[in-house]
């Protein structure tokens, strides 16, 4: 099977129809499945899902549970149930805007085997303000690569509904990862250790912000406290392999550092493919001499 589409849902009766419609409009010329991971909704979410999907999708898998298990465990069981070569995520308050979105992602990943996942740029829809906005694209290319240190420094994912994952890499995730408060940020950090993450220029999905969102309904000070706790938890989970990056980020988020980008070395900003070429082309002996020279005059 080529693709698994995971529908993540919890008490989203007001938005779930649009999410499902954007799935059903996709042009999918290959075998696919839809996995419904509803986290024991107490409203009409499940009734709407069944009404819109049953008899319309051949490979449909409803994951059953008798209690709320939380977002991390809900993702874990959905990933484990996936049978496709690739995994696409749809959270029940987001939606896709291009019927060829999934084809474009899969064609890209089929050709770029060095990438563990791809994500598209997305439009942020603030439902309360009726406002749409998006991040500026600062590249002349149609896609860019990011590496682990990039994802630590700045959450490049931001929204899992914009992502398509390579299933073989998702299978490498350790079970205890899902014991953490697993945000899209951490998922990107861990997956990027196995290869590059590609960000595609085209905007083909919408991330909805509303009062019912757990994060959007949190105060600025509460967000700060949560982020600082996540930094410590993620740093420990990764066995302090990126302690320099996490420490700098914590200093910036806590207000001790005024500008996080001023505290990174020049090498941190080199494109990933340049770093790969440097490691391959420059002999180790030269690198050792350069390191000695750098330390001597630092």
Which helix (H) or strand (E) segment is 57 a member of? none
Q: Residue 138 in 3-state DSSP?
A: coil
3-209, which class in CATH? alpha beta
Distance of CA 55 to the CA centre of its chain: 31
DSSP for 7-34? EEESS-TTTHHHHHHHHHT----S-EEE
DSSP code at position 238: T
Considering only CA atoms, give the Rg of the chain: 20
For CATH 3.90.550.10, list the domain ranges present in the chain: 3-209
Which helix (H) or strand (E) segment is 206 a member of? strand 196-209
| Distance between CA atoms of residues 183 and 194, nearest Å | 18
Q: What is the pLDDT along the chain (298 residues), one digit of tens a residue?
A: 999 999 999 999 999 999 999 999 999 999 999 999 999 999 999 999 999 999 999 999 999 889 999 999 999 999 999 999 999 999 999 999 999 999 999 999 999 999 999 999 999 999 888 899 999 999 999 999 999 999 999 888 889 999 999 999 999 999 999 999 888 999 999 999 999 999 999 999 999 997 765 555 667 788 788 899 999 999 999 999 999 999 999 998 888 776 655 444 544 555 655 655 655 565 555 655 555 554 445 4
Q: Compute the CA torsion angle 60, 160, 28, 36 (nearest 10 deg).
A: 10
Q: What are phi and psi of 176, to 5 degrees?
A: -70, -10
| Distance between CA atoms of residues 63 and 248, nearest Å | 41
């Amino acid at each position: 099977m080529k693709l698994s589409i995971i529908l993540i849902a919890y008490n989203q009766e007001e938005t779930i129809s649009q999410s499902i419609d954007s799935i059903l409009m996709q042009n999918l010329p290959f075998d696919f499945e839809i996995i419904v991971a509803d986290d024991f909704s107490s409203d009409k979410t499940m009734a709407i899902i069944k009404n819109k999907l049953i008899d319309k999708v051949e490979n449909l898998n409803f994951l059953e549970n008798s209690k709320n298990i939380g977002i991390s465990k809900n993702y874990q069981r959905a990933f484990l149930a996936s049978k496709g070569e690739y995994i696409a995520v749809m959270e029940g308050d987001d939606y896709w805007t291009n019927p060829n979105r999934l084809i474009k992602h899969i064609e890209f990943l089929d050709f770029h085997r060095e990438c563990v996942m791809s994500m598209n740029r997305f439009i942020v829809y603030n439902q309360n303000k009726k406002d749409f906005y998006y991040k500026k694209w600062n590249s002349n290319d149609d896609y860019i690569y990011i590496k682990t240190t990039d994802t630590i420094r700045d959450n490049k994912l931001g929204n899992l509904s914009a992502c398509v994952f390579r299933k073989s890499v998702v299978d490498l995730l350790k079970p205890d990862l899902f014991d953490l408060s697993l945000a899209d940020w951490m998922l990107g950090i861990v997956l990027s250790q196995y290869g590059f993450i590609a960000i595609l220029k085209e905007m083909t999905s919408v991330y909805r912000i509303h009062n019912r969102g757990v994060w959007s309904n949190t105060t600025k000070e509460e967000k700060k406290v949560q982020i600082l706790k996540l930094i410590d938890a993620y740093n420990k989970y990764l066995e302090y392999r990126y302690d320099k990056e996490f420490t700098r980020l914590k200093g910036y988020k806590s207000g001790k550092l005024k500008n996080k980008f001023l505290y990174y070395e020049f090498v941190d900003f080199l494109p990933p493919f340049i770093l790969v070429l440097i490691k391959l082309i420059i002999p180790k002996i030269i690198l050792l001499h350069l390191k000695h020279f750098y330390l001597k005059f630092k």
